[in-house]
Amino acid sequence: MKISHMLSAAVALALTGVAPAPAAVAHDRGHHRAAIPFTEATVTAAEDGSYVVEWQAPGVRRVAVEANGEVVARGGASGRVTVRGLPAADRQWFTFDAGRGHSLRLADRLIPLDGTVNFRDAGGYRTADGHWVKMGEIYRSDSLEKLTDADLAKLRRLGIRVDYDLRMASERAAAPDRVPAGTQYVVADVLAGSEAFVTMPRTESEAVAMMVEGEKFMVGGDTAKTAYRTVFDGLVEGDGALFHCTAGKDRTGWAGAALLTALGVPRATVMADYLASNDYRAEANAAALAHMTPAQAKVYKPLLDVRPEYLNAGFAEVSERFGSFSAYEKQGLGLSAKELRELKRELLVG
């Protein structure tokens, strides 16, 4: 791609969207919610096909980890084990069992696909009051136009039932989504023709300022509020949902941050999940910058990044415009108290 073309697309790319965040989640469809003793639990897939499973369960004497119906690791209140020799699978799930019905069903967060780099599970986090956000229910991603037939088959097996496209009309026309047959496609255009982000920044500081202002718009802009209300209305209705933009980091990033915050996940964890896009997109971002002169790359890099100051600007805008996140849930996201309870009932365990 020519540099001029890349720069002309900078704002659209920048507004799409510490280490990879924990990849674990509780998953329990039983009729009662047992207290979950795990305070931390992760599964991390390696390129050689092995998995590192880790956990912290204070006060628990014995933990067994199962995969495919067999125990693959044992330990006490804390553990870190590398598991090898498991057969290939779309997603390898592990059940962390602390006894007495206290278990978590976990997988690596990233979903490897040929046509994306930032397709991942939106769940897998512990809330401030000890619940866990389920994994295997809600997904977030970068653009989907490059999905292969094999990718589409995998998404069918994952149970993706609805795709919320957060992109502008020009983005959708240039790169139409590919989704499995039968998947509902819903446009939830966050920017919706806004002219606020059409000028390429000339300096690094201008680029950072643009990203900060973009984050604020995602909170208070009329088209943004309409789009996110559409998404959250759908999330209340059930699982199997996917929301995405172009890079899966800004528009998608705010959707993920708002969802996790509404579910009670601590701010530090929400920030870690947001910043994980820097790692998942590292190779793609480096390739884009490599085609530019050093001066161009210096201006462009803030548009490719996610940074704490960007997300913090969004939360600051919540306080400024709405007074509290609870008020934003009602006035910005359109969630009633009943709908928020239903969302938590659907997506939390423990």
Catalytic machinery residues: 245
Which residues are CB-neighbours of 260 under 8 A, at least 6 positions away?
122, 125, 133, 269, 270, 273
Q: Would you tell me the crossing angle of helices 308-322 and 251-262 to the nearest 10 degrees? A: 60
The end-to-end CA distance of the chain, in Å, is 49
Dihedral of alpha carbons 81, 109, 324, 302, sign: positive
29 SS3 class: coil
d(CA 222, CA 217) in angstroms, rounded, equals 8
Report DSSP letters for 101-164, one per residue: T-EEEE--SB---TT-S--EES---B-TTS-EE-SSSEEEES--TT--HHHHHHHHHHT--EEE
Which residues are CB-neighbours of 99 under 8 A, at least 6 positions away?
60, 62
Pairing of strands 120-121, 138-141: antiparallel
Nearest to 227 by CA among 198, 256, 255: 255
d(CA 285, CA 142) in angstroms, rounded, equals 13
